[in-house]
Amino acid sequence: MIIEGDCLQELKKLSGESVDLVIIDPPYNIGKDHWDSLGHTKKGYRPKEYTGPDYFVWMGQVFSELDRVLKKSGSFWVFHNDFRAMSRFLSEIESNTNLEFRQFVVWNKLFSGAKQEGYLMGYLQPDGLNNFQKMAEYMLFCTKKDLHLALRKERLARRITSSEIGVQIPSKNGNATGWYSNIETGKNLPTEKTIIPIQEMLGIRIADLVPTFNNQKTHHSVWNYDFDNTKFGHLTPKPVQLLENIIRHCSNAGDIVLDCFAGSGSTGIAAENLGRKYILIEKDPEYIALIRQRVLVRQSKLDI
């Protein structure tokens, strides 16, 4: 689904808990293009004459809507290129949503074997530098918090004791253990085995308690990816391969991926490549046309 319109207005039209994964690359508010200046100076820290909403307040409203449409098992990812902005983002997330911090991921662009290695090395070598050059962008990874609280609420509503659930999986000696209490208090996550009595007795599924995470055993918190210099008519596209990595880790085939700052549509291309559905929201008609063109080109290649 490709939607032309303002992100906040269009997000309000989506049903609650209807998407499995959110990936957004919002305006960084650094004056990169006409869409990238929201009431601050080029570096994005001091207010200037501006009649629109404050950048971080506005982003907080966006985060709140994204939290509403995200499923309990869903994940939320947001890009920025400045640590201070990320800090403000996290503050808005903690204030306006039921999301919690999981990881701060660095997208490293200068590494051995990078396609632009020689070009980027040129930025490290001029005389007179008095700081480290930034060759990275950042990603904030969040999921729903306190999902385990639903267990106690439902158990009490059904007038079931913890021990009644716990005895369903005794120890090897046949004795009671604390496996269920550890899950109800959030100390442990349920497994495919322990979720069986929980679902039977409380009606709560593993997807209600555990965010999707498919460990690819390939990545830690620093990711090496070439930046996308094809542009596709957009100044700051994210690499499809990087987006695919997020999608592989945090969704399953057939899931819905949402990007409400769609730009040139790279998130949609990555989702289609991996058998996911997508919802792209973009307010610029030129970018909407670009997204549709890219989708058609991709589909025509598949038809050959």
CA dist., res. 34 & res. 42, Å (int): 12
CATH of the domain at 201: 1.10.260
Pair 181, 167: CB distance under 8 Å: no
Residue 245 backbone dihedrals phi, psi, to 5 degrees: -65, -45
| Measured distance CA(68)–CA(54) in Å, rounded | 21
Pair 247, 292 in one domain: yes
Q: Which helix (H) or strand (E) holds 16?
A: none
CB 147 within 8 A of CB 263: no
CATH number of the structural domain spanning residue 273: 3.40.50.150
Quick one: 103 and 247 in the same domain? yes
The single residue listed with the structure tokens 């729903």 is: 144
Pairwise CA distance, residues 274 & 253, whole Å: 7
- The 10 Å Cβ neighbour count of residue 167 is 15
Entry pTM: 0.91
H/E stretch holding 257 reads strand 256-259
d(CA 196, CA 190) in angstroms, rounded, equals: 9
Q: Which residue has the tokens 């911090």?
A: 101
What is the per-residue pLDDT for 176? 84
DSSP type of residue 275:
T
Residues with pLDDT less than 70, the chain: 31-53, 231-232, 300, 302-304
21 and 124: one domain?
yes
- Shared domain check, 161 and 93: no
- What CA–CA distance (Å, rounded) separates 116 from 81? 18
Q: Which domain holds residue 10?
A: 2-146+211-303
CA dihedral 122, 127, 130, 132 (to 10 degrees): 20
Q: Is 229 helix (H, G, I), strand (E, B) or coil?
A: coil
Looking at the fold, whether 167 and 270 belong to one and the same domain comes out as no
Residue ending a domain, choose from 208, 240, 258: 208
Q: Does one domain contain both 123 and 76? A: yes
Q: At what angle do helices 240-250 and 266-273 cross, to 10 degrees?
A: 50
Q: Three-class SS string for 124-139?
A: CCCCCCCCCCCCEEEE
15 and 132 share a domain?
yes
- Residues pairing with 137 in the sheet: 107
Q: Are residues 85 and 232 located together in one domain of the fold?
A: yes
DSSP, collapsed to helix, strand or coil, labels residue 173 as: coil
CA distance 119 to 42: 25
Total tally of structural domains belonging to the chain: 2
Tell me, what's the pLDDT at 41?
52
- pLDDT score for 193: 96
